[in-house]
C-alpha cells in the first residue's frame, strides 16, 4: 500500500522499507527463539506474548533508528505466530531481505513511469549539506516587505521580478505561489507545511476580495 500508493510518504522510502523489514525479522526470530526454549506445551500458551513483544520491540527499534515502516510490524509478528515461518527459523531473514529488494525493484519500475520514486534513498536530508555561499547568506537575510506584497496584489510587474530575485536565495510564501531556492533540499513534510501556509494566505486574500466586492 505504501510503496505503490503513497510513494511520497517517508515510510515508503527505500531506507524505511529495507531496514524496517530487516530489523523486524531479526527481532521477531530472536524473541521467538527465546520463547522456544520453554517446553513445547508452555510455548503454545505464550506464543501470543512472543508475537506482542516482537512487534513492540521492533516498533521501538525502528523509531530509534528512524526506519519506521508500518508493515514491518507484521514481519516481526509473523515470526512468532506463523507455524510455517517459525519452522524456517533464521532462514526467514534472507527471505525477508529478498522480498524487500524485489518489492523496491518493482516499485522503481512502475512508480517512475509518470511519477518520481524514491523521494530520497537513505535520508530526506543531505548527508553533507552544501554550505551556502556568503552572497547567499546575505540574500537569505532579506525579508519580503508588505510593500512588495501590496505592489504584487495590484499587478505591479516589477514587484514580481523583485520577489523572484529574492526567491532565488530565500523562501517566499505568498498568496500566489511558493518559491524555494534551488540549493535548498526540503523534505516532504517541510514542503507540506509551506503549501499549507500558502493555502491559508491565499484563502485570506480571497476572503478580503469577496468582502470588497460585496461592499
128 domain-assigned: no
Q: Select the more confidently predicted residue: 32 or 130.
A: 32
Residue 84, exposed/middle/buried by CB under 10 A (0-12, 13-18, 19+)? exposed
Dihedral, CA atoms, 11, 15, 18, 19, nearest 10 degrees?
-100
124 domain-assigned: no
Q: Which helix (H) or strand (E) holds 65?
A: helix 40-65
11 domain-assigned: yes
209 domain-assigned: yes
Res. 141: pLDDT tops 80? no
Rounded to two decimals, what is the model's pTM?
0.58
* Number of domains within the chain: 2
Which neighbouring-strand residues pair with 172?
179
* 70 and 151 part of one domain: no
* 24 and 61 part of one domain: yes
Task: Please give the residue range of the domain that contains residue 190.
Answer: 134-214
pLDDT tens, 109-125? 988 888 888 887 776 55
120 domain-assigned: no
Question: What nine digits make up the cell of 16?
Answer: 524505511
pLDDT at 153: 55
* 93 and 152 part of one domain: no
* 146 and 195 part of one domain: yes
Q: Select the more confidently predicted residue: 209 or 52.
A: 52
Question: What nine digits make up the cell of 24?
Answer: 523486524
* Single residue among 110, 126, 143 that ends a domain in this structure: 110
Comparing 35-39, 48-52, 66-70, 128-132, the range with the smallest average pLDDT is 128-132
Cβ 107 vs Cβ 4: under 8 Å: yes
Share of the chain above pLDDT 90, in %: 31
* 83 and 177 part of one domain: no
Cβ 9 vs Cβ 188: under 8 Å: yes
Question: Omega before 118 cis (within 30°)?
Answer: yes
Amino acid at each position: 500500500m505504501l510503496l505503490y500508493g503513497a510513494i511520497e510518504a517517508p515510510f515508503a522510502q527505500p531506507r524505511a522499507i529495507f531496514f524496517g523489514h530487516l530489523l523486524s525479522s531479526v527481532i521477531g526470530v530472536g524473541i521467538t527463539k527465546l520463547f522456544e526454549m520453554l517446553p513445547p506445551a508452555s510455548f503454545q500458551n505464550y506464543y501470543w506474548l512472543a508475537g506482542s513483544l516482537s512487534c513492540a520491540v521492533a516498533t521501538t527499534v525502528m523509531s530509534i533508528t528512524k526506519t519506521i515502516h508500518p508493515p514491518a510490524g507484521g514481519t516481526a509478528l509473523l515470526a512468532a505466530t506463523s507455524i510455517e515461518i517459525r519452522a524456517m527459523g533464521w532462514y526467514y531473514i534472507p527471505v525477508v531481505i529478498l522480498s524487500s529488494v524485489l518489492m523496491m525493484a518493482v516499485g522503481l519500475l512502475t512508480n517512475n513511469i509518470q511519477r518520481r520514486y524514491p523521494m530520497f534513498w537513505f535520508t530526506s536530508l543531505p548527508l553533507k549539506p552544501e554550505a551556502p555561499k556568503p552572497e547567499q547568506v546575505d540574500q537569505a537575510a532579506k525579508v519580503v516587505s508588505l510593500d512588495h506584497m501590496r505592489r504584487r496584489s495590484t499587478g505591479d510587474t516589477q514587484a514580481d521580478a523583485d520577489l523572484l530575485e529574492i526567491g532565488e536565495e530565500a523562501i517566499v510564501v505568498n498568496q500566489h505561489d511558493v518559491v524555494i531556492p534551488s540549493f535548498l533540499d526540503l523534505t516532504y513534510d517541510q514542503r507540506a507545511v509551506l503549501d499549507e501556509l500558502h493555502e491559508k494566505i491565499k484563502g485570506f486574500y480571497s476572503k478580503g476580495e469577496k468582502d470588497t466586492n460585496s461592499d
